[in-house]
């Protein structure tokens, strides 16, 4: 389970990276189970929806510097 109070511990960072991979695939996060319900919802967020640096860091996504 990801614990946001200490996000840079090795265990939490590893989870965050797995979460980012699942998010990019449109799949449930690693601790949510592998049920397929929800992954086909209309309006499901995609990587381009996460625009701010803080949100991208929290999701384990790369930060784009302009």
**pLDDT tens, residue by residue, 15-27:** 889 989 988 988 8
Question: pTM of the predicted model, to two decimals?
Answer: 0.71
pLDDT value at residue 43: 83
The rounded distance, in Å, linking the Cα atoms of 40 and 61 is 22
Half-sphere exposure of 35 (CA within 13 A, CB side): 5
For residue 5, what are the CA distances in angstroms to 17, 41, 44, 49, 57?
17, 30, 26, 24, 14
């Amino acid at each position: 389970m990801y614990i946001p109070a200490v996000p840079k511990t090795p265990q939490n960072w590893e989870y965050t990276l797995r979460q980012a991979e699942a998010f990019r695939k449109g799949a449930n996060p690693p601790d949510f189970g592998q049920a397929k319900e929800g992954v086909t919802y209309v309006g499901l967020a995609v990587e381009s929806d996460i625009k701010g640096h803080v949100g991208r860091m929290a999701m384990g996504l790369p930060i784009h510097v302009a």
